[in-house]
Amino acid sequence: MKKYTFTEKKDTRSGFGAGLLEAGKRNSNVVALCADLVGSLKMEAFIKEFPERFFQMGIAEANMMGVAAGMTIGGKIPFTGTFANFSTGRVYDQIRQSIAYSGKNVKICASHAGLTLGEDGATHQILEDIGLMKMLPGMTVINTCDYNQTMAATIAVAEYEGPVYLRFGRPVMPIFTAPDQKFEIGKAWMVNEGADVSIFATGHLVWEAILAGEKLAEMGIDAEIINIHTIKPLDGEAVLKSAAKTGCVVTAEEHNRLGGLGDSIAQLLVRNNPVPQEYVAVNDSFGESGKPAELMTKYGLDSAHIVGAVERVMKRAG
Amino acid sequence: MTENINELKATTFQVRRDIVRMVHQCQSGHPGGSLGCADYFVALYFRILKHDTDFKMNGTGEDLFFLSNGHISPVWYSVLARSGYFGTEELATFRKINSRVQGHPATAEHLPGIRIASGSLGQGLSAAIGAALTKKLNNDPSLVFSLHGDGELQEGQIWEAAMFASHNKVDNLISTIDANGQQIDGPTEKVLSLGNLRAKWEAFGWDVLEMKGNDMEDVIRVLELAKSKAFNGKPVMILMHTSMGYGVDFMMGSHKWHGAAPNDEQLAAALAQLEETIGDY
């Protein structure tokens, strides 16, 4: 197992804030919109640098999505910012008609996704957003795993033409990916090459997969760990290549089991190479209040649950 | 560009013929609001807008138009074709398979003249505001126009957008409401009353004008007045009083023709009231 260490923890949303500032410096057409959550989305640095390119929308997310769509007409590249729940479910029809169906170059940037939002509870902890967004034709769906990757992804989506859903979170997480990395949309990242089982992880679950990989190595299991940061378009080649090698798959995500990364991979496998798969995901339920780590354990999303899923899937594969 | 009022009026007859023929041909679509707004569309595209029929999505240096109540697509398609965005023969494909002329306006098939999809109501004002903000950022002094149904004002997003536009002094925007008092299930006053629209828009910080939407002289006068009020710190809203189905006596003033197609006899009766001034497609 390749060794991953970290010297610092930061929140992925701060990576977004840093990436937005950098994207703004690189391209004067980048504009930012926020629905009364500037501090939560870490947009202060962009606002300070480019006050005339920032639009405070108030608590009016539907209007924010429509205004963002309209701003693309004339060449702006709007980044909208609010919590994942208010970035998707609340404004689904606005995104569907005005952005996705209309093919508008809007970057929907969503913080506080999933259970790790923590104490605010289930009203704010959306676990369905990946599914909602990936069902929209033409929508790119990205879920980043640490500060550096989020910063790189934010810069990359500014350079990409088309609607994007960029999902990140609230809690501080180890920084274990390279600074100044080049983020390739739609290209999976090989975290650790292995032979016995394929673990496909996205978002905060990538670090948990690394911890699980270390534990599995102690148990004599050689796990391949692949980070699927882009859920759509899925890097089918990387997934199928790994599944063919190991013959069994575990998917790990901070999302409902229905409609997330696991389902995208299952669909790919069933059409090409049906091998046993186990899901590490929320089992079709809402979340609740609590500390992020407590919730991840209670809802089965930590490294111990990944280890358990690996043992089950390897047994099934025989 | 047509300057003469009589020519504009003659064009409205042809556009109204197009509308009833298109809806009859596919036996679906929304003739009522389309007929009611024909004068506005003809005035806009043949007199008011500074626009280029060699269509470019970004519309830099041009006035832009957004249709929020997308179901009145027949009138927009007719006027776009008649002003040269695409051939009038394409109107015959309205609502048919493999057509660019979709039931509701869309960009996916790249029909010239359309900049965003509409149909799901309440979204067009936000899009128009966004386009207006981009014009300001780009130091582009042209204007953005938008049209909305009155029933559509029941959507909450409209009022989010209304608040935003005045707060941010989006004063390169001239919006219009087709106040025909009708919606699918009946008169707006019975379905969900809109109250005092002038007072509402004024309270939201807009400059409000009123217009007789089926009187070409008044449509031109008020649209020109609205242009003179642009860049004065406030968005402009025109309450356009129309009669749904205007121009065809048996369709006028009733919600029953909001989304119903005429049969062969009704088509003949309608066309008998609408002179063929330019030539049918």
Q: What ipTM goes with this model?
A: 0.97
* Same domain for A196 and A169: no
Q: Is A54 helix (H, G, I), strand (E, B) or coil?
A: strand
* Same domain for A105 and A163: yes
Distance from CA of A138 to the nearest CA of B (A): 11
Total domain count for chain A? 2
Q: What are the helix (H) ranges across B118-260?
A: 124-137, 156-167, 188-191, 197-203, 216-229
Distance from C-alpha of B76 to C-alpha of B105, rounded to nearest angstrom: 9
* Same domain for A112 and A43: yes
* Same domain for A166 and A244: no
Model pLDDT for residues B239-267, shown as the tens digit of each residue: 999 999 999 999 998 889 999 999 999 99
* Same domain for A35 and A127: yes
Chain B CB contacts of A58 under 8 Å are: 160, 163-164, 167
* Same domain for A167 and A129: yes
Chain B CB contacts of A96 under 8 Å are: 120
The whole-number average pLDDT for the span A8-19 is: 98
* Same domain for A228 and A121: no
pLDDT class of A215 with cuts at 50, 70, 90: very high
Distance from CA of A164 to the nearest CA of B (A): 17
Q: Is B164 helix (H, G, I), strand (E, B) or coil?
A: helix
Model pLDDT for residues A49-102, shown as the tens digit of each residue: 999 999 999 999 999 999 999 999 999 999 999 999 999 999 999 999 999 999
Give the mean pLDDT of chain B: 97
> Is A182 domain-assigned?
no
Q: Do A67 and B130 touch (CB under 8 A)?
A: yes
Question: Which element (helix H / strand E) includes A195?
Answer: none
Number of A to B CB contacts under 8 A, please give it. Answer: 120
Domains and CATH numbers, chain B: 5-272 (3.40.50.970)
Q: Which of A158, A148, A204, A147 lies closest to A185, judged by CA?
A: A158
The whole-number average pLDDT for the span B165-191 is: 97
The whole-number average pLDDT for the span A119-126 is: 97
- Quick one: tokens of A84? 């994942």
Give the CATH number, domain containing residue A85.
3.40.50.970
Chain B CB contacts of A60 under 8 Å are: 160-161, 163-164
- In the set A22, A49, A61, A224, the catalytic residue is A61
- Quick one: tokens of A121? 């509870």
Question: Which residues are CB-neighbours of A267 under 8 A, at least 6 positions away?
Answer: none
> Is A179 domain-assigned?
no
**What number of other Cβ atoms are within 10 A of residue A273's Cβ?**
14
Distance from CA of A311 to the nearest CA of B (A): 47
Model pLDDT for residues A219-240, shown as the tens digit of each residue: 999 999 999 999 999 999 999 9
pLDDT for A226: 98
pLDDT for B1: 44
Model pLDDT for residues B6-46, shown as the tens digit of each residue: 999 999 999 999 999 999 999 999 999 999 999 999 999 99
pLDDT class of B3 with cuts at 50, 70, 90: low
Model-level pTM?
0.97
Q: Is B279 helix (H, G, I), strand (E, B) or coil?
A: coil
Phi, psi of B251 (to 5 degrees): -100, -10
Chain B CB contacts of A104 under 8 Å are: 116
- Residue A169 domain boundaries: 9-174
- Quick one: tokens of B194? 């809109």
Tell me if A259 sits within 8 A of A136, measured CB to CB: no
pLDDT for B254: 86
* Same domain for A157 and A205: no
> Is A285 domain-assigned?
yes
A61 is catalytic: yes
pLDDT for B2: 47
Cα B46 to Cα A250, B6, B80: the distances in Å are 62, 12, 10
Report the residue from A60, A71, A93 with minimal CB separation from B160: A60
The answer to whether residue B175 neighbours chain A at the CB level (below 8 Å) is no
Helices and strands, counts by H and E, chain A = 12, 14
Is the confidence at residue A38, as pLDDT, over 50?
Answer: yes
Burial class (CB in 10 A: 0-12, 13-18, 19+), B30: buried
Report the residue from B135, B140, B157 with minimal CB separation from A63: B157
* Same domain for A196 and A150: no
Distance from C-alpha of A60 to C-alpha of A234, rounded to nearest angstrom: 32
* Same domain for A161 and A27: yes
DSSP string of A78-90? Answer: EEEEEEHHHHTGG
Model pLDDT for residues B51-74, shown as the tens digit of each residue: 999 999 999 999 999 999 999 999
> Is A234 domain-assigned?
yes
* Same domain for A206 and A170: no
